[in-house]
Amino acid sequence: MQLKQRKINFNLSDENTKEIFLYEINNHLLMDDKPSEYFNSIVDFPIFKKYPFFMLYNLNNAEQSPVHHAEGNAWKHTMLVIDYAAKEKRNSKNEKIFMWAALLHDIGKPDTTKIRNGKITSYDHEKVGAVLAKEFLKEFTQDEIFIGKVTSLIRWHMQILHVVKGNQFADIGSMKDETDINEIALLGYCDRLGRKNSDVEKEKQNIAMFLKKCRDFKGNV
């Protein structure tokens, strides 16, 4: 079902404006070929700097490692990710869940980004992001199933890196208990392509390796 586009009326009460703005965001996530165009057009609106939208606005303040993110800060990265996600959403089991996860996947970076030993890091941003995304989405819906599925994708989206590298942070068992590895793979693919100069073939290979390791997993040793 397509949603009719609505123009935000800033003369409305704060509560009504917030509801319409959330409707607008949902509308453009699901219907636009390049959702980034809409988001970049509203990023400087006063309402975007208020609760809960400032959680997204603050992505502009989250710098990223130039080695891994030549595109720049977390906002620029997220804009690339949602555009790739818009192309891939038809391959998801639920487009709405998938697109909201893409939009909010790095919402934890502003609170976790630090410089350690001269390097920009954002350790545990996926865990913090899952908590913040739940708070954000509760302003939009009381559908606990929807919120749970979105936040689970956010919570586990970094597992692709951990599983492929076979490092200590890989936790296939818990991930498979809480979310769908195919949806994680699709989100992770968009996440990896949402970077300047990404290697498409290499990322496809990484996703294939991730899925194979997850399917071959027999349980915790």
* Other residues' Cβ atoms within 10 Å of the Cβ of residue 35: 23
With left for phi above 0 and alpha for psi between -120 and 50, is residue 72 left, alpha or beta?
left
Per residue in 175-210, pLDDT tens?
999 999 999 999 999 999 998 889 999 999 999 999
Whether cis (ω within 30° of 0) applies to the bond prior to 110 is: no
What does pTM read for this prediction?
0.91
- Each residue of 6-27: b (16+ CB within 10 Å) or e? eebeeeeeeeebbebbbbbbbb
Confidence of residue 4 (pLDDT cuts 50, 70, 90): very low
Mapped onto helix, strand or coil, the DSSP state of residue 121 is strand
Per residue in 119-159, pLDDT tens?
988 999 999 999 999 999 998 899 999 999 999 999 999 99
Average pLDDT, the chain: 91
CATH domain 14-216 topology: Hypothetical protein af1432 (1.10.3210)
Mapped onto helix, strand or coil, the DSSP state of residue 216 is helix
Better-scored residue on pLDDT, 210 or 72: 210
Q: Which amino acid is at 124?
A: D
Question: What is the per-residue pLDDT for 65?
Answer: 81
